[in-house]
Structures are given as C-alpha cells and as structure tokens.
Amino acid sequence: MGVKISVNGEKYKVKSKNWYLNMIDYPIQIDGQEIRVVAVGNKVDLAVDGVFLGSGEAYTPLNYMPSGVNVYMGISCIGGFVMAGVIGLLIGACFSKSYAKKALEAGSTKAIIGDFIMCTVIQIILVFVLVYALY
C-alpha cells in the first residue's frame, strides 16, 4: 500500500525511498510550474522555484541513501531485539532514525558507522546489565 498525494482532484501514487523512514521527493506540474512535494518522516513541505514554502530554506533533492544504511538499521533493530528484547529493539529503532537523518544530511558513512558502533555498545552493555540483574 503506497502513499497517495491529492492535488486539484488528481491523485498521485508515490513510494518512499526508504523502508524505515518516510522519504518522498515527488515532482508535480501545475500550470507549467514544477512543484516538489518533499516528505521526510512526518514533516512535509512544498518546494517552488528552489525554495521550500513552509520553512523558506533552499530546496535540495533528497540525497541517495547508501544501501549500507538499511543494513545497519536491520542489524540494530533485529540484533537489539535478539540481545535485549523490546528495550534493545527500541534503542535500535532510535539509532536507526539517526542513521537515516545523517545519511540524508551528510551523505557520508563515517558518522553513520560511529552511531552504529555506539548503538551496538549500548545494546551490549544493556545485555550485561540485564544478565547481572537476573543473577
């Protein structure tokens, strides 16, 4: 099930560029003018003539998200759940949002790898705390 955008009665079916975080950058033509509908997470804005209408910032296309980011997201969430249950899953989900935002902003994987390592360390520490508390 995809997301639909409705403009002047016309519906456009769009698909997010990421499985975890809603990322849409979709062009719409109105009277020969290109308008971009940009959504990241639950924040949606329109870009006209290279400027976002809501924020007034310059429009920049959504950066390509490296496929490795999706791998880090999966490992953080699934690994966190396997190691520490729901709390580990929640930690992985919080860091996964950080991975996606850093990939969009910087496009560099060094900061993402640093966050991935920090997430893994926190989840491992949580495992030791849980094991110590149970025994």
Nearest to 28 by CA among 48, 3, 51, 42: 48
Q: At residue 120, does pLDDT exceed 90?
A: yes
Residue 76: per-residue pLDDT:
93
pLDDT digits (tens, 9 = 90+) for 57-102: 888 777 667 778 888 988 999 999 998 889 999 999 899 888 877 8
Q: Rg for the chain (alpha carbons), in Å?
A: 19
Q: What is the mean pLDDT of the chain?
A: 84
More confident: 111 or 119: 119
What band does 41 get if pLDDT is binned at 50, 70 and 90?
confident
Specify the pTM. Answer: 0.63
Query: Contact, 46 vs 54, CB < 8 A?
Result: yes
Query: Contact, 44 vs 38, CB < 8 A?
Result: yes
Residue 106: per-residue pLDDT:
67
Structure tokens at 42: 């639950």
What band does 10 get if pLDDT is binned at 50, 70 and 90?
confident
Q: Return the H-helix or E-strand segment holding 47.
A: strand 43-48
The sign of the torsion formed by the CA atoms of 55, 17, 90, 106 equals negative
